[in-house]
Structure 1
């Protein structure tokens, strides 16, 4: 305090203020020269100007753009090179109309080609998909398949809590490792920040290989804290895979009665060729955390067709050239002709996705969106609400989920396309996080997801435009102010 008083009363104060002003000006120029989305550029400039000192620190920690530098460099990886070659081959087959059997050929080629081009997401056939729409079903299926593992178990989670369900999973992993099963686990360092060092030591002593993804340790903090691995992937023996919104923690199974009520989420269990796509994503991330490339063919076993579902597993993040998942969702929105139903815990769409949604609704497409009335992130909830009026004015139906916290990330359109994964409908999932999402091209899967949407809709309250407009003015002010920072959340 004495030092601050001396500065304020001395002749050096003007020089301190001048130095700070120059620093802010330099940062603003850097942001502008990066040619980012203008909305994000303006948001960061506002943060720097309205929050002196704090804004500069926030930018250093959260604002730097590392996508161009590729936090995970995949070039040179043999598995990734093989994946690219297969993707190029499928693109060529699409061009000549010879991709697979009749079932595959009937899929919407526009989005298939898009995801092949922007992320080398292979078209896989012969898949079976089991929807897991509550924690009980998800964890029963996961624990059962983990216990049945014979050769290897690969898990990747944003949150892995050392609570009752976490300890149950940990116990199985340790037992399997002791019996010679290869067990590998990746947890995000920020999402799983409560895990103690003893957890990792216990797992490693039992033979489980476990790593934190992008550890946040000073002085490397500034380049890592803003890019998190939000994926939820499990691969067992190359034949069983899991992907979706559930993490490993009690609240995902039992909810939080004191705060949110039940936890409503969606996960899928996959059997078929798509499991190899999940494996490719995991092994790329594994190389990054362990510097070990696993190329043994045993990790990609041949599989017999289990059913007839066609799908693509799409990764996206700072390691990719394009925001692949956002582009896939954008294509789905613009291609919808009958209906488009979306469930998301956070609704902070990019400008392109927002415009596509309004265009679809104004074109006569039945567009409905369910978001939770209560949220685990207050500022994000305010931002989500700031988009509601313009959605309603365009004809989009908006619902508030009442039964608990809706954490599902799903899209279904026209009884043709179902989308489920880890990506929220927000800037962070589209541009900054490492995400993975399944695009399923199957009428039966779409109808099942649509039925689940209608069940969630029955547990929700529709928002009417006159009532939404006629709310206390202070609520609108808070939402509008929060929206200024939506590109940064």
Structure 2
């Protein structure tokens, strides 16, 4: 005899009432299964690197809902960036290209050719970067106090516009001094544009920049964290550091805007960083990088002659501006660094505050050392990001056996991002040797091709090594078990570091 439908419903209600825990676990099991069935294929389809894929599959399997949320925020590295995507698909035809002199346009292979070491200049062009530019004057800064002083003085002398693009702008003494200067220049009729990263400058409140806006200046965050906006992306950040003044003078390197970069933070103490000042035709390339990022963030197009004035030769330096980011099919800076290391025969010197290289870069460093090159990596002895600090230890451990030498800078925080290969090629810029810089962030390097600037870079390295302690392999491997365990756990997060 079939029970009435209302009796069956009552039985189900009674079961739910009598077994609430079982019902909850059943629902969770179904959700867990659906998360794996839907989430894992999504990860496998989206992620290209096997290490990152395994890490995310592991996370979603054991932390289903949290794993999907984390992957959406940090793992799904998609940016809706139609401006740059269209530009890269239409190299040579984009309206942006014609803001630059013909010999400085991206992807142009018909421009006059410069004899760069192992043709790395041409390789950078094939990767989508600007061509090598002659007739530039480069001034390297190894002390942040002097770098800030000269940069602020150059902004004081601005007559038409000041463009700044920074990952971090602090609302501290240094940031206040900058805002006061920019506000004063804006009131005097100078066009002021400040582009800051929404995550790196998260503490920069509206009240702090309000005076500059009231004076007529423009302040725009890059990729704001807003779940209601299509462009929301926590993981992809603008790590560039650029200042352009009147389209004729530019600064770039590793320095952000904040007190710690002047050695005023007691935790870090002395701050070692590298910055360069650029005058000459290559300034237009840094101006282009800023203009592209500014249009993406604000919608305002900067392409008139006022922003790209004719630039006469200012010196003898050959330089090349190489920008990179997650909007590229192949990361230009990562591939260029890889090529330089594999071509090295005498030396590879690298300064980076974060060392979490991918497998290819590890192999390149290992190969260079085996071939007899003097391979040295300069690292900070102070940790400012503990996860990256512990993760790097596993890479150091592996490469010490291959003859790679590691040095820890002792006077304070080492934040320089620079590289020298065979005294013939080098760079100063914003790129760290980690997954974040080489795959996730928007970055920019100034590659140096001339002997005078490379010789000065070599002297800077030698001075830094003299103030550093070389890591001894035997002592390093005697670290406590807890430290070695923490390093292995931290390495699991390498795709995010």
Give the TM-score normalised by the residue count of structure 2.
Answer: 0.91
Aligned equivalent of 2:9: none
Q: 2:311 aligns with which of 282, 286, 303?
A: 303
Aligned equivalent of 2:354: 346
Aligned equivalent of 2:41: 29
Q: Secondary structure at the match of 2:23?
A: coil
Unaligned runs of 5+ in 2: 1-16, 88-93
Aligned equivalent of 1:117: 126
1:58-207 alignment, distance < 5 Å: 58-66=70-78, 70=81, 73-75=84-86, 78-80=95-97, 86=103, 87=105, 90-93=108-111, 98-99=112-113, 105-108=114-117, 110-207=119-216
1:397 and 2:414 are equivalent in the alignment: no
1:229-244 alignment, distance < 5 Å: 229-244=238-253
Aligned equivalent of 2:268: 260
Aligned equivalent of 1:18: 30
* TM-fit CA distance, 1:177: 1.1
Q: Secondary structure at the match of 1:127?
A: strand
Q: 1:463 aligns with which of 463, 468, 471?
A: 471
* TM-fit CA distance, 1:12: 4.2
* TM-fit CA distance, 1:456: 1.2
* TM-fit CA distance, 1:21: 2.4
Cα distance change, pair 6–196 in 1 and its aligned pair in 2 (3 A): farther
Contact 1:374 1:405 in 2 (8 A): yes
Cα distance change, pair 357–71 in 1 and its aligned pair in 2 (3 A): farther
Aligned equivalent of 2:395: 387
Q: Secondary structure at the match of 1:11?
A: helix
Report which of the two structures shows the higher radius of gyration computed on alpha carbons: 2
Q: Secondary structure at the match of 1:75?
A: helix
1:246 and 2:255 are equivalent in the alignment: yes
Cα distance change, pair 268–36 in 1 and its aligned pair in 2 (3 A): same
Instruction: Give distance in 2, aligned partners of 1:128 and 1:7.
Output: 78
Aligned equivalent of 1:102: none
Q: Secondary structure at the match of 1:185?
A: strand
* TM-fit CA distance, 1:164: 1.1
1:276 and 2:287 are equivalent in the alignment: no
Task: Give the aligned length.
Answer: 474
Unaligned runs of 5+ in 1: 100-104
Instruction: Give distance in 1, aligned partners of 2:201 and 2:110.
Output: 42
* TM-fit CA distance, 1:285: 0.7
1:427 and 2:435 are equivalent in the alignment: yes
Aligned equivalent of 2:59: 47
Q: Secondary structure at the match of 2:201?
A: coil
CA RMSD of aligned residues (A): 2.1
Contact 2:318 2:448 in 1 (8 A): yes
Instruction: Give distance in 2, aligned partners of 1:88 and 1:139.
Output: 31
Cα distance change, pair 88–238 in 1 and its aligned pair in 2 (3 A): closer
Give the TM-score normalised by the residue count of structure 1.
Answer: 0.92
Contact 2:77 2:235 in 1 (8 A): no
Aligned equivalent of 1:286: 294
Cα distance change, pair 78–71 in 1 and its aligned pair in 2 (3 A): closer
Aligned equivalent of 2:237: 228
Contact 1:61 1:221 in 2 (8 A): no
* TM-fit CA distance, 1:53: 3.8
1:436 and 2:444 are equivalent in the alignment: yes
Contact 2:99 2:305 in 1 (8 A): no
Q: Secondary structure at the match of 1:91?
A: coil
Q: Secondary structure at the match of 1:293?
A: coil
